Amino acid sequence: YEILIGLVGSEMCIRDSDESEITRFSVSGGAVAPQASGKVNGYVNDQFSMSEYNGFFRIAVTENVWEESTVFAEEDSSIATNALVTQKNSLYVLDMDMKVVGSISDFGINEQIKSVNFSGDTAYAVTFRQTDPLYAIDLSNPYSPVMLDELKISGYSSYMQKWGDGLLLGFGAEADEDTGMETGIKVTMFDNSNPDELAALDSVSLISGGEFEYIYSEAVYERKALFIDEERNLIGFPVDKYNYDENGQSLYSYQFYSFENDSFTYKAVSYTHLRAHE
């Protein structure tokens, strides 16, 4: 029995970018032994950015590229520093010897990967800086990945999950299209029945209102806070609404939605908790 382990921690390498190591282990009779190791440039966002499929390992990464510069503190001295030049994203395909056999690079320049969903021969990746490009990548030929389509919407999905045939559920943050500043919570149902023509069927955005109000959800950064049950057609997530005016109160709730007839429907709130600021 063999397992694949991606070492998510990145380190600075000699070419002044990020690097991640990947090791394949065998597990037999209680003995664990390394079988092969490899490296790719870039760091991994989370466990969903990696997938083993049909004898190949796929990994999506964001790479920070740095350039050494010199800052002169005084006329007779200088300080060498590293400055971030650009960010770029790549998806690598490795064989069982942990050698790169195929890749697609340089998508989402100066953005970073927020979520990835592998579905058989297709990968879906979301990058973000000001808007949310959803990329569909064809991996049917692991030696030659192909970009199929790119869909841009506001905000970003920090988690994606299949929802029935031809549908992909995305949950994350809403954001201002001009500044990229997060403004609330966003749930989106994507139509990926044709990966060459991605579409957003419907979305729900809970937006912060006014100067002193801020809406946040733990589920943007912790997927275990999400409730997703396709069989019962329920999607739930926590909503924290903070008010910072002089009479401010914070409202905590857990809201549920369903998806039918190509649109979201608000169902219920399981609980609410109102707390005044001290």
From first to last of its 278 residues, what are the pLDDT tens digits of the chain?
444 544 433 333 333 457 888 988 888 888 888 889 999 999 999 999 999 999 999 999 999 887 766 555 555 565 656 565 788 999 999 999 999 999 999 899 999 999 999 999 999 999 988 667 999 999 999 999 999 999 999 999 999 999 989 999 999 999 988 887 889 999 999 999 999 999 999 999 999 877 778 898 999 999 999 999 999 999 999 999 887 665 667 888 899 999 999 999 999 887 666 655 55
- Taking CA atoms, 121 is separated from 58, 93, 138, 168, 195, in Å, by 10, 12, 6, 15, 11
Please name the residue that has the structure tokens 């369903």. 258
Long-range pairs, 191-197, Cβ under 8 A, ≥24: 191/166, 191/167, 192/119, 192/122, 192/124, 192/136, 192/166, 192/167, 192/168, 193/165, 193/166, 193/167, 195/122, 195/136, 195/138, 195/148, 195/149, 196/136, 196/148, 196/149, 197/149
The pLDDT value recorded for residue 272 is 67
Say what the pLDDT of residue 270 is: 76
**Can you give the pTM of this predicted structure?**
0.84
Q: What is the pLDDT of residue 245?
A: 60
pLDDT at residue number 141: 98
> Which pLDDT value is given to residue 30?
83
**What integer pLDDT is reported at residue 84 of this predicted model?**
58
Q: Is 9 helix (H, G, I), strand (E, B) or coil?
A: strand
Residue 147 pLDDT: 97
Instruction: For the beta carbon of residue 16, count every other beta carbon within 10 angstroms.
Output: 13
